[in-house]
A = this chain, B = another copy of it.
Amino acid sequence: MTQATDATKSASEPCLLTHDEGRVRVLTFNRPRALNAFNQELYLALAEALRSADADPQVRVIVLTGAGDAFTAGQDLTEMASMASATGVIGFEVLLDALEAVGKPILAAVNGLGLGLGLTILLHTDINLMADEAKLKCPFVTLGVVPEAGSSFLLPHVLGYQRTAELLFSARYMGAKEARETGLVLETLPRAQLLPRVLELATKIAQQPPAAVRETKRLMRHATRGEARAARAREAEEFKARMVSPEFQEAMRAFAEKRAPNFD
């Protein structure tokens, strides 16, 4: 997939959909054939949409969700190999900076599969609800890499150290019930009821005095912001080292050859 192809595609079908329900801005990842995986285009589109929603006085709450059956498969693996040698703007980092800068509440409606950033983005949103049918996974070690998006600090903060260790080391799926019980999401419900319920909650929050809500979020985020940023910096440094490791190369070869990787 080249940038030219992306540009062509995005002209007819944007990779991010935007619409408002009253004072709630809904942003929908819209690459359903790629399970809404994040390519450079989607990273930058979402970052820009977040900045725009945060600046818009008509918008009080932001909702993130995915089109079709998936929430998001995370980093698009077809672009991942090229990240090792990437120069210039890294969409992933631009998106995380944008997420961190948003002052308004962000709710996530996890409608389906979440991989990698599909899970770790939930550490940067404020309230997450999840469809019973959805499942989440952090496949970092299986790819020979390490956690990202500050998750080496934020995920233990939410799930506890042990559960995080077990999930990251085994790279297994977590279902909706477990996500709720461990505190990764607040509520789980059938997919058909997910977005209506998220909008109901978002609308209720949108009725509160917006500056008080914004300052409350700022005060709450303050406590972990420094550590989350420091974790992101440590992760990014190690991530770069991992991308030239034999483990990562074997994982990418196995992905290309559609076989299980061999780490013996």
Contact = CB atoms under 8 A, between A and B. Distances in A.
A28 interface: no
Interface in A85-144: 105, 126-128, 140-144
Interface stretch (A3-11, A13-21, A48-56, A220-228): A220-228
A3 B229 CA distance: 49
Contact of A153 (B164, B204, B223, B238): B223
A205 interface: yes
Interface in A204-237: 204-205, 207-213, 215-217, 219-220, 222-224, 227, 231, 234-235
Given A171-B208, A204-B170, A219 B162 contact: no
B220 A152 contact: yes
Contact of A162 (B183, B215, B223): B183
A95 B35 CA distance: 48
A78 interface: no
B216 A146 contact: yes
Copies of this chain = 3
Contact of A127 (B158, B165, B208, B212): B165
B147 A209 contact: no
A212 B160 contact: no
Interface of A: 105, 126-128, 140-147, 152-153, 156-158, 160-166, 168-171, 183, 185-186, 201, 204-205, 207-213, 215-217, 219-220, 222-224, 227, 231, 234-235, 238, 242, 245, 247, 250-251, 261, 263
13 contacts: A105-B165, A141-B209, A141-B213, A142-B208, A146-B212, A147-B220, A152-B223, A153-B220, A161-B224, A163-B186, A170-B205, A219-B234, A222-B231
